[in-house]
Chain A
């Protein structure tokens, strides 16, 4: 049986189903752990962990800088740029950096060597500690379109040859940012809520993890009496149900105040501890987690 601790990605398709609730509490219940907040547009994990003395790093992308003295006006760069980030008018080149995708093509192709690359800040990654958890939070700057460079930087923070489980809090949806977040995951936990919207979006991330051949299971959150369309989906598709979190006003209250239920409440410490065990079994790593009991 492999001893390598797991990297677990928590995703959901639909927003608001409980990704952060689950990923934060799993990390808290796991003893020594690493938590990565890849929802860089709207990161929330840090509100619960409140990491001590967080250190911040800037995340930058490369954008071109044109030396107008060297520019001969050949316009190869303008013609090449697939994103129309370059133009040429009034005898000088112009750059529109908000549209630039940092591909490096213009700098590469300029026959006059008039283009070099410079850094543009797009976000930050902050690192800090909360109890037994190393917390890494990615934040996209307001107005920037894509969080992928921030997510990439964040994933680079995972200690290599690490001995602790890693929990990745993913963005909602199933587009490029989510795909980037689950790239290195050993196991995916899909969090679903019992509404038609929830089930519909669960189907989307089910498709994503299946396509990427990631082992996965579902956690049903906000469970109440009555029909659960997400549970029905799981049964229909033979998806393992790892656990059920009941709709509980007490949990809701703890959560809305930014408290980590697994740290404040014995019942939830046990619930998330069991969930960890179940994930471990499902991922065939029985001894992966050093749960706080």
Chain B
């Protein structure tokens, strides 16, 4: 199975829209939403059956047995995460607790125990042909990377014989992004032509590079700022990063998404453009040649038509 991950660095560049289009175009039998903090892919995926739901457990949380607590405050003075509230009785602040166990270790009264704590909900949609794995991290939770790994693992188990899996990633460069990059065959970065968009794109490119994974970049809403789009193209050229194409800003795309339609299936400017980007990405994904091939880095996609 080849896994294609869609990232952006900056939020709001169009990852989920592009992922949705790719899933439709490739008729992907396996896909996943790894933006466990703010999952959106399920809003544009159509399933008639209900998913299998399960709880996700992150780190355990400390619990103070109020009957045993002697109010000495040892837990509070040793907690590095500001997760204990003094009072009668002392209490754990569950959102802050990271499950390290120091409080349980230092409590002279044995009043602190570490208890399993659900930190999110997983959902797996399946039918004979397809599998879609997604999850939602509970508000304020950490360990999002472990949940991301679990989402991918479930997709993999549910669809072992599938050729191509498409994964919608999350914004940023931290925990959930790092976990989503591990083990994928290619990363497509959806960039936007703005000062912020370029700054964020550079950071996510550096992050992907540190994992030595095949990476390509496309620009969404490219016509909003042709000069900045050209900057992104130059950046890719200089670094030998394959450029997968441009998608114009398209008011019709927003309408389509809001009414549950997929842009790849419509004859609108963004739909036509995303199909070209898809073809370029597929060519790169299935190519066995080395990752950074200068000749093909820009190819016929150089310059903005």
Contacts and interface: CB of A to CB of B under 8 A. Distances in A.
Interface of A: 13-17, 20, 41-42, 44, 47-48, 80, 82-83, 101-105, 108-109, 140, 142-147, 171-179, 193-197, 200-201, 204, 207-208, 211, 224, 226-227, 229, 249, 252-253, 255-258
A42 B195 contact: no
B225 A176 contact: no
Interface in B149-178: 170-175, 178
Contacts of A108: 78, 102, 105-106
A146 B140 contact: no
A119 B281 CA distance: 42
16 contacts: A15-B12, A16-B192, A41-B173, A42-B173, A42-B204, A44-B10, A82-B114, A101-B98, A143-B207, A173-B37, A179-B95, A196-B260, A197-B16, A197-B40, A200-B43, A204-B38
Nearest to B174: A41
B210 interface: yes
Contacts of B260: 196
B38 A174 contact: yes
Given A105-B100, A147-B174, A204-B139, 8 more contacts: A14-B11, A80-B101, A174-B139, A193-B12, A195-B254, A197-B16, A208-B140, A256-B193
B245 interface: no
B301 interface: no
B169 to A, nearest CB: 11
A256 B199 contact: no
Interface in B248-266: 251, 254-255, 257-258, 260
A103 B98 CA distance: 9
Nearest to A40: B174
Contacts of B9: 42
Interface of B: 8-13, 16, 37-38, 40, 43-44, 59-60, 78, 80-81, 95, 98-102, 105-106, 114, 137, 139-142, 144-145, 170-175, 178, 192-197, 199-200, 203-204, 206-207, 210, 224-225, 228, 251, 254-255, 257-258, 260
B207 A42 contact: no
Contacts of A103: 80-81, 98, 100-102
A104 to B, nearest CB: 6
Nearest to A173: B37
Contact of B228 (A146, A208, A226, A256): A256
B101 A82 contact: yes
The 6 A-B residue pairs with the shortest CB-CB distance in the complex, in nearest-first order: A15-B11, A16-B12, A103-B100, A256-B194, A173-B37, A258-B195
Contact of A42 (B44, B105, B193, B199): B199
A208 B38 contact: no
B40 A175 contact: no
B258 A227 contact: yes
Contact of B40 (A42, A201, A226): A201
B197 to A, nearest CB: 8
B102 A207 contact: no
B271 to A, nearest CB: 17
Given A44-B200, A174-B38, A256-B194, A197 B257 contact: yes
Contacts of B228: 256
A42 B172 CA distance: 6
A293 to B, nearest CB: 28
A227 B95 CA distance: 36
Nearest to A139: B203
Contacts of A13: 38
A7 B257 CA distance: 36
Contacts of B145: 145
A226 to B, nearest CB: 7
B139 A211 contact: yes
A178 B12 CA distance: 17
A16 B59 CA distance: 30
Contact of B258 (A17, A140, A195, A201): A195
Nearest to B253: A195
B247 to A, nearest CB: 15
Contacts of A14: 11-12, 38, 40
A16 B38 CA distance: 13
Contacts of B102: 103-105, 108
B35 to A, nearest CB: 8
A177 B140 CA distance: 8
Given A104-B80, A105-B105, A16 B11 contact: yes
A137 to B, nearest CB: 11
B196 A175 contact: no
Contacts of A253: 224-225
A200 B172 CA distance: 19
Nearest to A259: B195
A10 B65 CA distance: 38
A175 B193 CA distance: 27
A257 B226 CA distance: 11
Given A15-B12, A101-B98, A172 B172 contact: yes
A52 B96 CA distance: 36
A80 B10 CA distance: 38
